[in-house]
Structure 1
Amino acid sequence: MHYEILGRQEADAPTLVLSAGLGGSARFWAPQLPVLTDTYRVVVYDQLGTGRSPAELPEGYSIAHMAAELLALLDHLHIERCHFIGHALGGLVGLELALERPQLLQSQVLINAWSSPNPHSARCFALRKTLLRDSGPQAYVQAQALFLYPADWIASHGEQLAQDEAHALAHFPSQDNLLRRIAALQAFDIEARLGEITTPTLLIANRDDMLVPWQRSQHLADHLVAGQLQLLGYGGHASSVSDVEPFNRVLLNYLASQA
């Protein structure tokens, strides 16, 4: 997998591992990197089968596969302890890591994540699959902003979105890969094992997230041994992009508390 190690380079520097959502690209974290790289060694990566990590994903591909791929990368880099930050699908990877190798994680921050399917998100992902299959990548990419951002932010960031959409189309994954990644997040269900996760965990959620109801993060906070919820009022599903300063402040405060 393509990866980059940014910020501090010392092996004993506090280390952050950032995992993006369905798009899988390290590029997602650009708004956070300026405030993280002075203090931390930051590992970002393109998930397998996305961006700069070309691969043909197999049938039955799962979140457990994604976690195993990341663990192989971290072993290759000799990273034995880290703080993990995951957005949506990336948050599911973090939950899987916390089950499979709890000694790796000093803490985790899970943004608009979930522990089992819910009817609203299932409807949204079914629609996205239909768009991809019946209308193609351009329609899929054009619709993506509607799931990620507040309406007023979309209205005032037309030029940025046009550039982002052009980049997404130029680097669009194979249809089979994307459908298998969506199937993996649709199938994810660890309800029966939530009590096993003892990693200190901050759940960040947004009241105006139209893809994943914020109550899914509240559920995680209520059922994880060391979970706490920070509920934001604005920003949609990707407030790390659409409302950067409040998001970064919450993130930095939590990381400082876990030092």
Structure 2
Amino acid sequence: MKRNNFLLTIFLLSSFSAFAQADRPVLDIMLGNYKYPFEVHYLDLKTQNQELKMAYMDVQPKKTNGKTVLLLHGKNFNGAYWKKTISALAADGYRVVVPDQIGFGKSSKPIGYQFTFQQLAQNTKAILGKLKIDKVYLLGHSMGGMLATRFTLMYPEKVEKLILENPIGLEDWKRVTPYISIDQNYQSELQASYETAKDYQLGFYYDNKWKPEYDEWVYLLTGWTKHPDYPIVAMNNAQTSDMIFTQPIVYEFSDIKIPTLLIIGTRDRTAIGKANVKDKALREKMGQYQILGKETQKKIPNAQLVELENVGHLPHIEVFDRFIEPLKAFLIK
């Protein structure tokens, strides 16, 4: 009986959320009809022989402490989901810069672009150059953690401290997972919907416990699936999935020489390609963040680890107060 009640609750919540989403406008692929929490600026980039626009928020504190925090978003997100983090840091005097990577959010969705973490790091550095920012505290979540690591390795002189929040790439999935081509990923992305994205996040991110405020991040991920230009987004998504799978950073953690903090929600089970692993025992070993966090701490010289028990892939969304406290403490050390 209890299980039936639980399933009924999940069904009702899903039905209500889907209905609520249906009332919202279809998003264009530059999110031109969606307002971010802070003013959006654009950097004109000429890269790979294409004229592109890279969106970013640059939030100035009322009273500055002279420090800048650079926030890098994850694969299934964009800069908007950092809203509470931006506000909290700005209130403490930090300037906060939050880019949308090329292929994401309000930034250009190029055709025929070669996505690499090195390219995204160069693009991100170009924003700092435009803003004349010499050094940053760098925080990356999920895919943003992989990019933050690559950025730190490429430009160590730019990074004072590194914070990785539930980064992916803590294991090399291609050693155990069958390769899924960009073409196959593209076909899967074409089938994406609010319902499929929510089901994934519900199970992998939130332990089957949904809150209404999570709907916004699913809407931003899928609100453009009915737009006629959505196939361009689908291809960018497929290309960046390939980038994540084929460009591991796990072997280079030992090369990080700056102070590093790992904030790890230990309930997280995110692992790329996990569903394609036929060996059940092997599959269940993937994405074990309560283990991966400790292993990664050992690889990064003098790294600190904060484990958040019973928290999933998005600490800054799921348990903001428990996330922001250790972050602030690390920044002022």
> In 2, Cα distance between the equivalents of 1:134 and 1:60?
20
Task: Give the superposition deviation at 1:42.
Answer: 0.4
The answer for the alignment partner of 2:198 in structure 1 is 142
Contact 2:69 2:94 in 1 (8 A): yes
> In 1, Cα distance between the equivalents of 2:134 and 2:177?
35
Amino acid at match of 1:226: N
Task: Give the superposition deviation at 1:208.
Answer: 0.5
Contact 2:65 2:94 in 1 (8 A): no
Question: Cα–Cα, structure 1 residues 135 and 24, in superposed 2: closer, same or farther, change >3 Å?
Answer: closer
For residue 55 of structure 1, give the secondary structure of its aligned residue in structure 2: coil
Contact 1:116 1:188 in 2 (8 A): no
Compute the RMSD of aligned alpha carbons.
2.8
1:107 equivalent in alignment to 2:161:
yes
Structure with higher RCO (Cα < 8 A, 6+ apart): 1
Contact 2:206 2:313 in 1 (8 A): yes
1:238 equivalent in alignment to 2:314:
yes
Task: Give the superposition deviation at 1:17.
Answer: 0.1
The answer for the alignment partner of 2:288 in structure 1 is 213
Instruction: Write the mapping of 1:66-81 to structure 2, written as runs, cut at 5 A.
Output: 66-81=120-135
> In 2, Cα distance between the equivalents of 1:148 and 1:122?
21
Contact 2:190 2:234 in 1 (8 A): no
Instruction: Write the mapping of 1:165-204 to structure 2, written as runs, cut at 5 A.
Output: 165-171=218-224, 174-204=233-263
| Structure with greater helix share of residues | 1
Contact 2:186 2:237 in 1 (8 A): no
> Radius of gyration: which is bigger?
2
User: 80-89 vs 162-171, which deviates more?
Assistant: 162-171
> In 1, Cα distance between the equivalents of 2:176 and 2:142?
11
**Normalising by the residue count of structure 2, what TM-score does the alignment of the two structures yield?**
0.68
> In 1, Cα distance between the equivalents of 2:107 and 2:163?
24
User: 245-254 vs 11-20, which deviates more?
Assistant: 11-20
Question: Cα–Cα, structure 1 residues 130 and 213, in superposed 2: closer, same or farther, change >3 Å?
Answer: farther
Q: Which runs of 4+ in 1 moved over 4 A?
A: 9-12, 119-123, 128-131
1:18 equivalent in alignment to 2:80:
no
Task: Give the superposition deviation at 1:80.
Answer: 1.0
Measured against aligned partners, the alpha-carbon deviations of 1:141-183 in whole angstroms (never above 9, x if no partner) come to 223422222323x1xx1x3334443343224661000111111
For residue 17 of structure 1, give the secondary structure of its aligned residue in structure 2: strand
Instruction: Write the mapping of 1:82-161 to structure 2, written as runs, cut at 5 A.
Output: 82-113=136-167, 114-118=169-173, 129=185, 132-133=188-189, 135-146=191-202, 147-152=204-209, 154=210, 157=211, 159-161=212-214
Question: Cα–Cα, structure 1 residues 163 and 95, in superposed 2: closer, same or farther, change >3 Å?
Answer: closer
Contact 2:73 2:140 in 1 (8 A): yes
Task: Give the superposition deviation at 1:239.
Answer: 1.4
Contact 1:16 1:84 in 2 (8 A): yes
Identity %: 20
**Normalising by the residue count of structure 1, what TM-score does the alignment of the two structures yield?**
0.85
For residue 32 of structure 1, give the secondary structure of its aligned residue in structure 2: helix
1:61 aligns with one of 106, 110, 115: 115
Amino acid at match of 1:80: D
> In 2, Cα distance between the equivalents of 1:62 and 1:26?
19
Aligned length: 251
User: 24-33 vs 234-243, which deviates more?
Assistant: 24-33
User: 167-176 vs 218-227, which deviates more?
Assistant: 167-176
User: 142-151 vs 242-251, which deviates more?
Assistant: 142-151
Measured against aligned partners, the alpha-carbon deviations of 1:83-124 in whole angstroms (never above 9, x if no partner) come to 00000110111111111110100001001123442479969x
